[in-house]
A and B are shown apart, each in its own frame.
Chain A
Amino acid sequence: AIQMTQSPSSLSASVGDRVTITCRASQGIRNDLGWYQQKPGKAPKLLIYAASSLQSGVPSRFSGSGSGTDFTLTISSLQPEDFATYYCLQDYNYPRLTFGGGTKVEIK
């Protein structure tokens, strides 16, 4: 099974900061990766699919990059509503899926 290693597990940042979260796959997964945002008590929400494609309605401050084994989610200028937990999800083996461990973005 494909393992997804996400880092860091948590980070503290201020409004306006640039934030980068990484996800590493245990094997090459082309660009078959999505990024989800989850707020407390809510279901996850898709931000990015195909590693770099922005989901409709998602602010352009979110961007994704990478292919193969290494992927990055970047928030260019952190906003108050962005404090949440972020997960990567590989769908290379669709419909067998694997989530990363998550990154909690907290207020500094």
Chain B
Amino acid sequence: QVQLQESGPGLVKPSETLSLTCAVSGYSISSGYYWGWIRQPPGKGLEWIGSIYHSGSTYYNPSLKSRVTISVDTSKNQFSLKLSSVTAADTAVYYCARLGGRYYDSSGFVRYYFDYWGQGTLVTVSS
């Protein structure tokens, strides 16, 4: 069974860098798929932050791109998120997830959906 577990500080000071790690078990990241970070501010909706492949190829939400870095460590079977210059607006539950559900769309292109999620971790930005 694939499991994902987020970890990292629950409290970060404004202007500092938020750092989280997603440890994966039950599946080797090196075997494939994109892996993603998603966040949800308290009482608000879901926001895709970015996705990374085991090769290190990354895609970021344009609204966060200047502050986000996602990296992968295949030796530890984990991937990480760094968000710099945080403010109170970055307070959220942060989820990691696997884009591993494959299907073919109406034009025959391969697409993927999130099939496994971590439980989420709350990060509060406050002094």
CB within 8 Å of B: which residues of A? 1, 30-32, 34, 36, 38, 43-44, 46, 49-50, 53, 67, 87, 89, 91-92, 94-102
- The B44-65 residues at the A interface (CB cut-off 8 A) are 45-48, 51, 53, 59, 61-62
| CB-based contact A99/B113 at 8 Å | no
User: A97 and B51: CB pair below 8 A?
Assistant: yes
Determine if B79 is an interface residue (Cβ-Cβ < 8 Å).
no
Measured between beta carbons, the chain A residues less than 8 angstroms from B38 are 99
Interchain CB contact (< 8 A) of B99 among A30, A50, A92, A95: A95
- Write the residues of chain B forming the contact surface with A, with a CB cutoff of 8 angstroms: 34, 36, 38, 45-48, 51, 53, 59, 61-62, 95, 97, 99, 101, 103-107, 109, 111-115, 117-120
Contacts A50-B111, A97-B36, A101-B45 given; indicate if A43 touches B95 (C-beta within 8 A). yes
On whether the beta carbons of B51 and A34 are closer than 8 Å, the reply is: no
In the complex, which residues of chain A have a beta carbon less than 8 angstroms from the beta carbon of B107?
A: 30
User: Is A49 touching B113 in the complex (CB atoms < 8 A)?
Assistant: yes
B106 pairs with A30, CB closer than 8 A: yes
A89: chain B residues at CB < 8 Å are: 46, 48, 113-114
Chain A contacts of B106 at CB under 8 A?
A: 30-31, 50, 67
A31 to B108, CA, bound (A): 11
B99 touches A46 (CB 8 A): no
The residues of B that contact A1 with a CB separation of less than 8 Å are 62
Q: Is the CB of A44 within 8 A of B47?
A: no
Does B120 contact A91, Cβ atoms closer than 8 Å? no
Query: For residue B120, which residues in chain A have a CB less than 8 angstroms away from its CB?
Result: 43
**Smallest CB gap from B119: residue in A:** A43
Cβ–Cβ < 8 Å partners of A50 in chain B: 103-106, 111
Q: Which residues of chain B have C-beta atoms less than 8 A from A91's C-beta?
A: 99, 111-113
Decide if B48 touches A30 in the complex (CB within 8 Å): no
Cβ contact within 8 Å between B59 and A95: yes
